[in-house]
Structure 1
Amino acid sequence: MGRYLCVAILASVFTSGCAFSDDVSEHRSLASFKGESACYDRKTEPYTAVVDTHLHYRPFDGRAIPFNEMNDYLSRTTVRFANVYGIGQMLPSNSSCSNYLKCPGTPVAPTTRNDFVNAANMIEHKPEGLHLTLSMTFTDLSNPEPTVALMEFYDKEYPGLFHWMGEVNLVKQAQFFNRHQAATPKDITKWEGFMAQLRLRNDPITIHSDLGNDDDPTMYLPLMERALALYPDNKIVWAHMGMSHELTTMKATQHIGIMSRLLDAYPNLMIDISWRILDDYYFSKRGNQDLYVAFMNDYSERILPGSDFVAFRGNNFHVYQQELNATSRIHQFLDDNAFRNIALGQNYFDLLKLDYQAPQICP
């Protein structure tokens, strides 16, 4: 059995397959995703994702896990491709707060600080054996006017380095007590400048937009619908399928119905299934799993995996390992086509037009 945590041992409870171990030698190399490679044996190889499209290399307070250490975490798992997010909304540099949830009243404001640190680290410590995509996370969607000028400044300082935007907040209820305000419908009309720039670059944008809360599950849905209607030609990734800690009791059928309707209406929309709240409150809930698996099989070309791990200095490899396992758990139940598109990264490669390809699934 080696050092795999083989789920096959529990075959009476789970499907066969393996979670990852922390032995690098047991996982596929970056080079193996170039051209044809050996088929992927789902019975013996891990079900955890090879791409982490939602990974925060920088935390809210700036005290981060060192860049090289974070890359080592990836190398010890199945992950070979990752988006390097900062966190665009940071606590004040002179604040002693490290968790905004415990500091109501302390502002969490958009800033370029994390992006610049990530860019400098990418240049100085470019990793071997990993493919990293750098993302701009500074944008304030409720005050979008400065965005284009800042994008141009990024291009001047770090030409050709940024190929994604986000995660940026349209509405994030968790930060309401830290002076965050949802963008208004009028604000959304003012995105045209930077959204046009993203279209020219062919770069995606990941938007955090809460659907609602347990009292009103679709309270904020019209905001995302407006963004999609105004910018249908942009590659928009909806983070966490619109879910949050404020919305944990929505019926799966209602949630899937909303996602299906919008995916059908907007061909450039994708969703990410990052953040373990999805598995904790929805995917693994009794009666829900089959519904979500069927949805993912049907829309397998429109879904991206991610951990939503935040590289706080106090976190470590085992926390990342747990988050990756939790957010990948549902992969083991997908059909082969969906598994290849989502867990093995084909959707990500196609979205960014990367010269990589996912292995075929063994018969």
Structure 2
Amino acid sequence: MFLLRLTLALILGGISVSVPARDYRFSDAHLHYVDFFQESAGMDELLAAMAAAGVEHAMLSGIPVAKKWHEDEPKRPRYYAGDDANAYWYSATDVLVAHAYKQLPAEQRERFHPFLSGFNPNDKNSDAHIRRMLELDPGLWQGIGEVFTRHDDLTALIQGDVPRANNEAMARVYHLAAEYDLPVLLHANITSKRERNPLYLAEIEEPLRNHPHVRFIWAHAGTSLEIHRHQTKLDFLLPTVARLLEDYPNLYIDLSWSVLRPYLLDKHGRADDAWVQLVSRYPARFMLGSDVVGRFDRLGDYLQEFTPFLDALPEEVAQRVARDNFLAVLPRRVRPATGQ
């Protein structure tokens, strides 16, 4: 297993002091086994990437939509934003995830935590579909998500209406999640690409308030690459996240890559003091994810990029963020001991 074991030399008053570097173990709280074409590099590549990066546990999910190769497009797109063709809700993504999971030996299955995602968040039939999936494979699914609601240009491309995290269909899903003790990983952008205010805050806050028995993992803390491209940095993000954490003990924050810059690290790669203080104030409420999509060669790179921020945290807090907090939100029946 790859783990950082360098020694840092500190010069204090002319005296060289050796301080062992921290040795992080990871849980990947946000990982897509397939891409937007429902294709994957496969479990062997994923296991190799996890071994190289020191990832002991991983959330395992599909992609709830499939990108169409439209009749009028001469080249097959490589990503959902590759052309103007639509995407459509794709329930078979969960079949692919379940099949890959079931092929693993029992000792390897313990490291993976499948989340069910293949449903339409605008369809009030979705909770019935999810219940059928849970009953078909009792005990297999350990969470719901990533649920795509507000999601940049993707939700504009998906056939049908733009989903909201606070609509009636999702309320039915949240009741089911509480019944089965399942956490919900929810992608809900806090604003649009243009508005410099928390335009869609109510869409995440209403479920937090109305479903206190559901553990919500907010993907990317409501941010995205597209928002960054247009707005660079949201000044209201940190105080808003801080207030929500104070008000809603059922909220957890996924710090996957779009939060890393420009929030956790500055342009010089130094940890932001305000975010260090916030994570230290709520040491059980933050987790890391690679957000890789069907290809796993950069999984370790994405997680290792968090090292400067983790190093700025108290060591016990850093290890909770890197590994333990994700495990703690899983259903009680499968929750591993944090020391394992």
Report the TM-score range of the alignment, normalised by the length of the smaller protein.
0.7 to 0.9
Aligned partners of 1:329 and 1:3: how far apart in 2?
A: 17
1:346, 1:358 within 8 Å by CA — same for their partners in 2? Answer: no
**Alignment-derived partner of residue 51 in structure 2:** 75
Q: Could you list the runs of 5+ residues in structure 2 that have no partner in the other structure?
A: 12-18
2:218, 2:254 within 8 Å by CA — same for their partners in 1? Answer: yes
**Alignment-derived partner of residue 308 in structure 1:** 291
Map 1:54-93 → 2, pairs under 5 A: 54-92=30-68
Q: Mark the CA change 1:262 to 1:216 in structure 2 (over 3 Å): closer, same or farther.
A: same
**Alignment-derived partner of residue 275 in structure 2:** 292
**SS of aligned partner of 2:148:** strand
Q: CA deviation at 1:253?
A: 5.5
2:208, 2:250 within 8 Å by CA — same for their partners in 1? Answer: no
**Alignment-derived partner of residue 139 in structure 2:** 160
For residues 167-205 of structure 1, what are the alpha-carbon distances to aligned partners after superposition, in whole Å with 9 as ceiling and x for unaligned?
0112001314423643248x6133332211111111100
1:269 aligns with 2:251: yes
**Alignment-derived partner of residue 203 in structure 2:** 223
Q: Mark the CA change 1:300 to 1:194 in structure 2 (over 3 Å): closer, same or farther.
A: same
Q: Mark the CA change 1:152 to 1:350 in structure 2 (over 3 Å): closer, same or farther.
A: closer
Length, aligned pairs only: 320
1:235 aligns with 2:215: yes
Bigger Cα displacement from structure 2, 300-309 vs 340-349: 340-349
**Alignment-derived partner of residue 177 in structure 2:** 198
**Alignment-derived partner of residue 35 in structure 1:** none
1:115 aligns with 2:98: no
Q: Could you list the runs of 5+ residues in structure 1 that have no partner in the other structure?
A: 13-41
Q: TM-score, normalised by structure 2?
A: 0.84
Q: CA deviation at 1:302?
A: 1.0
Q: CA deviation at 1:93?
A: 7.5
Q: TM-score, normalised by structure 1?
A: 0.79
1:203, 1:235 within 8 Å by CA — same for their partners in 2? Answer: yes
Q: 1:337 aligns with which of 301, 316, 324?
A: 316
**Alignment-derived partner of residue 258 in structure 1:** 240
1:355 aligns with 2:331: no
**Alignment-derived partner of residue 244 in structure 1:** 224
Q: CA deviation at 1:11?
A: 5.8
2:67, 2:88 within 8 Å by CA — same for their partners in 1? Answer: yes
Q: CA deviation at 1:356?
A: 1.1
Q: Mark the CA change 1:350 to 1:169 in structure 2 (over 3 Å): closer, same or farther.
A: closer
Aligned partners of 2:314 and 2:124: how far apart in 1?
A: 44
**Alignment-derived partner of residue 34 in structure 1:** none
Q: Mark the CA change 1:9 to 1:89 in structure 2 (over 3 Å): closer, same or farther.
A: same
Aligned partners of 2:276 and 2:3: how far apart in 1?
A: 24
Q: 2:23 aligns with which of 46, 64, 75?
A: 46
Q: CA deviation at 1:125?
A: 2.3
Structure 1 stretches of at least 4 aligned residues deviating more than 6 Å after TM superposition: none
Amino acid corresponding to residue 189 of structure 1 in structure 2: E
Q: CA deviation at 1:285?
A: 1.6
Over the residues paired in the alignment, what is the CA RMSD in angstroms? 2.8
For residues 210-233 of structure 1, what are the alpha-carbon distances to aligned partners after superposition, in whole Å with 9 as ceiling and x for unaligned?
111453131222211222233222
**SS of aligned partner of 1:345:** helix
Q: Mark the CA change 1:10 to 1:139 in structure 2 (over 3 Å): closer, same or farther.
A: farther
**Percentage of identical aligned residues:** 20
Amino acid corresponding to residue 220 of structure 2 in structure 1: H
Q: Mark the CA change 1:173 to 1:193 in structure 2 (over 3 Å): closer, same or farther.
A: same
Bigger Cα displacement from structure 2, 212-221 vs 332-341: 212-221
